[in-house]
Amino acid sequence: MTQELTPEERERRAEERRQRIRQWVENLLQTEGIPWAPMTKSLAQSKLALVTACGLYLPPQPPFVVENNQADWSYRELPKDAPSGDFKIAHTHYDHFGAEKDINVVFPIDRLKELALEGVIGGLNSVNYSFSGYIPDPSQLVASSAPKVATKLKEQGVDAVLLTPC
């Protein structure tokens, strides 16, 4: 049975969330040299990849750690040919209702495969990536994990990335 929160408790929790967001934005703004790369070819000629912050993983990969205030800035590689029903969610900070019915709500892998078959996009990368969206201190994500994934995407010839936050 779900316990009803008092207005004071709701406000306290809301303030904690606002403080975490302020800290995250503050940390992000301290990052210099974030590049912007305009598209140089059409989507029909481009290889796309999906990168999500929805905490997706495929067993036997370990789920992301989200139950404490420590950041899990690791990532999971998600093969494009994995059945969409096999994806699991390890992120407790958003409502999974729609995603549990259809993973494409948060990770539109089947829709991108369809767009590739129709020639709307040039193709979908063979490997896509997932991060936990709950990272109170993103400094290690920015310093380590994200650059590793960016390097992999570049080496794999990806032209554009569709980011799905949760």
Domain ranges across the chain: 43-164
Q: What confidence score (pLDDT) does residue 15 get?
A: 87
Please give the residue that has the higher pLDDT: either 158 or 20.
158
Q: Tell which residue, 74, 71, 52, has the closest CA to residue 165.
A: 52
Please give the residue that has the higher pLDDT: either 148 or 136.
148
Stretch among 10-14, 17-21, 40-44 having the lowest mean pLDDT: 17-21
Residues 27-86 have pLDDT tens digits of 766 666 666 677 889 999 999 999 999 999 999 999 998 776 677 889 999 999 999 999
Q: Tell which residue, 165, 162, 146, has the closest CA to residue 50.
A: 162
Q: What confidence score (pLDDT) does residue 145 get?
A: 93
In the predicted structure, residue 149 carries a pLDDT above the cut 70: yes
Evaluate whether 146 touches 51 at the Cβ level (below 8 Å): no
Q: What confidence score (pLDDT) does residue 160 get?
A: 94
Its sign, for the CA torsion 1, 57, 64, 147, is: negative
**Phi, psi at residue 36, to the nearest 5°?**
-120, 125
Evaluate whether 52 touches 81 at the Cβ level (below 8 Å): no
> What is the CB neighbour count within 10 angstroms for residue 115?
18
Residue 5 pLDDT class (50, 70, 90 cuts): confident
Q: How far, in Å, CA of 42 to CA of 62, rounded?
A: 37
| pTM score | 0.78
Residues 98-138 have pLDDT tens digits of 888 999 999 999 999 999 999 999 999 999 999 998 888 88
Distant-in-sequence, close-in-space partners of 38: CB < 8 Å, separation ≥ 6: none
Residue 155 pLDDT class (50, 70, 90 cuts): very high
How much of the chain is helix, strand and coil, in % rounded to 5?
Answer: 40, 15, 45
Q: Which two tokens stand for residue 137?
A: 């201190």
